[in-house]
Amino acid sequence: MENFVDISQAEKVYAVDGINQGLRNDGRELMDFRPIVVEFDVMPNTHGSARVRLGQTDLIAAIKLKMRQVTDTEDFSNRIDFYVTCSAVASPDFAGKHGDDCAQRIASLLRKAYRNDFILPELKKFKLSKDRYYQTKVDILILQYDGNAVDAASIAAKAALSDLKFIIPTMIARDKGKTVPQLPGKARSQIQTLDISNVPMIVTLNSFGDNIFLDATLEEEQCVGGVLHVGVIPLKEENYMNEIEMKEQAENCFITLLKNTKPNIFHEEKFDQVLSIGIEAAIELNRVLLNRIEEYKREPKKNAEDRIESFMGDLQF
């Protein structure tokens, strides 16, 4: 991720020296993430939302389903689309149009990672009839930026999708092959969720010299020589407990994104090793997020009635 606010040469030397010694300015080792906080159901009048704080990087993902009418729903693949906005006060980097450039890069990476029919096969439910479907839009707002927004956005998107609640209406046939929606009689008992097992996790690998490290801060991003984004779908079996089982998991996962934003930096002979690091990091990050999702499911829910009202409003034509 390009940055437009320079740190001093002395700060760069200090950061690079720490990376070369395997110890970062904030005390982390090269493969460590900063503390991650994930909250759910944080936005009213949405069908799913989550807030993620990765160190000082802070963003919100919100999902809204909108019923659309088309000529024939069989003519297109119904996929999730992503829109990212960088708050003007999130970082000095976002002055002028630079925030838009950053937002477009993050949205593009998310779209590429999700552009696969293997991801969220349950989206076929959102083709409600021959002429109507649910458009699925994920809006991500970056509130504060301190590096590694791509990984944070990936976490927030998956967390928000896990929080998504929806109802499949009954479609009533009308003239000329058109249909109109009707909520089931006991709508509150018909709320559904998506299986997010196949939702990818994106991890960003950064390099300086021969060193590879994760979760770069804003200052570290200005020192990196190479950046590689790896999108991974781990297998559903998440109960591995040791290093051997994790390596076996890494060999059988699916890669949905492989984007080198600084070409010719990662040496070909080391690429397999670098990719393996990214896959294992994505698997571990996914495991931690799934644990947090399961924890949230045991918490009292607060906005179920609001979501029903939101669906009722969306079904009015």
C-alpha span between 32 and 285 (Å, rounded): 11
Maximum distance among all alpha carbons in the chain? 73
Task: Report the sign of the C-alpha dihedral through residues 14, 17, 21, 22, in that order.
Answer: positive
User: Per the CATH hierarchy, to which homologous superfamily does domain 9-314 belong?
Assistant: GHMP Kinase, N-terminal domain (3.30.230.70)
Give how far the C-alpha of residue 114 lies from the chain's centroid of Cα atoms, to the nearest Å: 9
Lowest mean pLDDT among 86-100, 153-167, 169-183, 289-303: 86-100
The β-bridge partners of 86 are 142
**pLDDT tens by residue, 25-60:** 888 999 999 999 999 999 988 999 999 999 999 999
What does residue 292 show for φ and ψ, rounded to 5 degrees? -65, -40
3-state secondary structure at position 119: coil
Q: What is residue 228's three-state secondary structure?
A: strand
Paired sense of beta strands 201-208 and 179-182, if any: unpaired
Cβ neighbours of residue 257 closer than 8 Å, sequence gap 6 or more: 109, 112, 113, 200, 202, 229, 230, 231
Angle between helices 243-251 and 271-297 in degrees, nearest 10: 110
Arithmetic mean of pLDDT, 109-132: 90
pLDDT tens-digit readout, 201-240:
999 999 887 889 999 998 888 888 889 999 999 876 544 4
Q: pLDDT value at position 239?
A: 46
pLDDT of residue 249 exceeding 90, the answer is: no
Whole-number pLDDT of residue 182: 82
pLDDT at 244 over 50: no
Domain boundaries, the chain: 9-314
The answer to whether residues 63 and 137 touch, using CB atoms and an 8 Å cutoff, is yes
- The pLDDT of 292-311, averaged and rounded, is 73
Q: What integer pLDDT is reported at residue 196 of this predicted model? A: 93
pTM of the model: 0.88
DSSP for 238-270, please give it.
----SHHHHHHHHHT-EEEEEEESSTT-S-GGG
